[in-house]
């Protein structure tokens, strides 16, 4: 059963070594992520699963100990999902950022695993994946990594799309109020057009939390670099 969840953005720039001179620009987001992880720790879970977007080669489950790297961003920095054997394949970037957040927070409250979710995955399959994760009696916590629209300004990765502000506002409301129905209703096609990499992970969360009765709080909302970033805590 799901007892708590934290929602965090997944840009590699959250990692100070990657951001370098721009590290201070996301300091408030890092602080909010640390606050959300404290909510997870306080829930005393038996297991934590980090959920994030992944390409075709990185979809599926990752065991505790799986390793990720930011070498592709010019930084010799490695991370792991807790202690354990390394695993057969590297973490996708979203889960690597999650692993860095856990290390930064000195996570030790429960064993950690990962789940990479394909961005094109249909909403109902995302919801069912979440239901499957939350089935059983163990106390489960989720760290859900995902960004909103990448089309908020003309300098955004996806340029400016006037639909992006409304999409992000709806996502922020749903994340801030733990509204699973609203998350489930996010339009997958529109999300893909707006390059919103958080849609599928958020809908996995919606499935896991359908009957959990959790309350939500939005801890951070901004669109630096023209991308919607949100931090929320559900407990």
User: Do 64 and 48 contact (CB within 8 A), yes or no?
Assistant: no
> Distance (Å, rounded) from C-alpha 41 to C-alpha 12?
23
**Sequence ranges of the domains in the chain:** 2-234
Q: Which pLDDT score is estimated for 113?
A: 96
> Distance (Å, rounded) from C-alpha 190 to C-alpha 170?
13
* Interval 55-64: pLDDT, tens: 988 999 999 9
* Interval 104-163: pLDDT, tens: 999 998 999 999 999 889 999 999 999 999 998 999 999 999 999 999 999 999 999 999
For the entire predicted model, the pTM comes to 0.96
Q: In the chain, which stretches have pLDDT less than 50? A: none
Q: Which pLDDT score is estimated for 22?
A: 78
Q: What CATH code would you report for 2-234? A: 3.40.830.10
Q: Please provide residue 154's backbone torsions phi and psi, each rounded to the nearest 5 degrees.
A: -70, -20
Reading the block at residue 176, the tokens are 């801030």
DSSP string, the chain: -EEEEEEE---GGGSHHHHGGGGGGGHHHHHHHHHHHHHHHHT--SEEEEEEEE-GGG-EEE-TT-EEE-GGGT---EEESSSS---SSPPPHHHHHHHHHHHHTT--SS-EEEEEEETT--HHHHHHHHHHHH-SSS-EEEEEE----S-SSTTSTT---TTHHHHHHHHHHHHHHT-HHHHHTS-HHHHHHTT-TTHHHHHHHHHHTTTT---EEEEEEE-GGG--EEEEEE-
Q: Which pLDDT score is estimated for 11?
A: 96
- Report the DSSP pairing between strands 47-54 and 140-145: parallel
> Distance (Å, rounded) from C-alpha 62 to C-alpha 101?
17
């Amino acid at each position: 059963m799901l007892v708590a969840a934290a929602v965090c953005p997944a840009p590699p720039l959250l990692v100070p070594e990657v951001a370098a001179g721009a590290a201070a620009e996301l300091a408030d987001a890092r602080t909010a992520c640390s606050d959300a992880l404290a909510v997870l720790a306080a829930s005393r879970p038996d297991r934590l699963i980090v959920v994030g977007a992944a390409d075709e080669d990185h979809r599926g489950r990752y065991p505790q100990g799986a390793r990720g790297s930011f070498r592709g961003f010019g930084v010799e920095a490695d991370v792991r999902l807790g202690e354990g054997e390394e695993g057969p394949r590297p973490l996708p970037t979203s889960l690597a950022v999650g692993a860095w957040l856990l290390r930064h927070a000195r996570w030790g409250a429960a064993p950690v695993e990962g789940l990479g979710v394909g961005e094109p995955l249909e909403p109902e399959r995302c919801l069912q994946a979440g239901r499957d994760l939350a089935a059983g009696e163990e106390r489960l916590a989720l760290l859900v990594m995902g960004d909103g629209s990448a089309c908020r300004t003309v300098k955004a990765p996806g340029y400016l799309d006037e639909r992006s502000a409304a999409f992000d506002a709806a996502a922020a409301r749903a994340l801030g109020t733990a509204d699973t129905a609203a998350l489930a209703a996010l339009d997958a096609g529109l999300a893909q057009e707006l390059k919103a990499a958080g849609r599928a992970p958020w809908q996995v969360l919606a499935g896991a939390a359908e009957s959990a009765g959790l309350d939500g709080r939005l801890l951070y909302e901004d669109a630096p670099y023209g991308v919607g970033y949100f931090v929320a805590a559900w407990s």
